[in-house]
Amino acid sequence: MDEAGGPMSGDTLGARSGPLAYSRSTVPFGPRLWDPCTYAHLRIWPRLHRMDEVYKLQAEVLKTLSNPRRLEIIHLLADGPREVSRLAEEMRISQPNVSQHLALMRSAGVVEAERDGREVRYRLSDPEIIVACETMRGVLVRRLSRISAVATRTPAEVLAGRAAATAAEQTVS
């Protein structure tokens, strides 16, 4: 022990016990307990943990939406609630097939069901789902149009474009 009552240099256990028994010079790694921001991660941990759960839920919903038939169902339900039989008729697939898709979508929270006599009517659980689908669809349409524009260019147009880009770079430099 030194005269101040703390541990001496190289001494890891002083007379005091607990986290303050160590000096700054004797703890080579790990959390520095005297640093006020050391425990900041404890304050934000609940938010980070919740964020992880949201990512998991988002992945589950996106996995559910990764089927073209389910996307078709979403677009049909965007126009309003529909019975399973009507969806099957509009999609030209069997009613049991539609019911299977709807069951998966319901378990992911994408659609909600309400019974009307013998019929079950489905609707989107949140109208913003179609906004997300339309946004992604727009991204893909723009991407396809860019690819199409590049694919229809002749080799001479490609070379002319490269030459123009090279000339523009030399002008800027």
Residue 34 — φ and ψ, nearest 5°?
Answer: -85, -10
Give the integer Cα–Cα distance in Å for 101 and 121. 14
- 3-class DSSP assignment, residue 13: coil
Residue 17 — φ and ψ, nearest 5°?
Answer: -110, 170
H/E run at residue 56:
helix 40-64
- Looking at residue 126, its pLDDT comes to 94
- Looking at residue 90, its pLDDT comes to 96
End-to-end CA distance of the chain: 67
- Looking at residue 100, its pLDDT comes to 96
Note whether 72 and 62 are within 8 A (CB): no
- Looking at residue 14, its pLDDT comes to 43
Give the integer Cα–Cα distance in Å for 76 and 79. 6
Q: The whole model's pTM is what?
A: 0.58
For the chain, 173 residues long, give each residue's pLDDT as a single digit of tens.
444 444 444 444 444 445 444 444 444 454 555 455 555 555 665 666 666 788 888 888 999 999 999 999 999 999 999 999 999 999 999 999 999 999 999 999 999 999 988 888 999 999 999 999 999 999 999 999 888 887 787 888 878 888 888 888 888 76
Note whether 122 and 81 are within 8 A (CB): yes
Residue 105 in tokens = 């979508």
Instruction: Provide the residue count of the chain.
Output: 173
User: Considering the domain 63-126 in this protein, what is its CATH number?
Assistant: 1.10.10.10
Domain ranges in the chain are 1-38, 63-126, 129-164
- Looking at residue 50, its pLDDT comes to 64
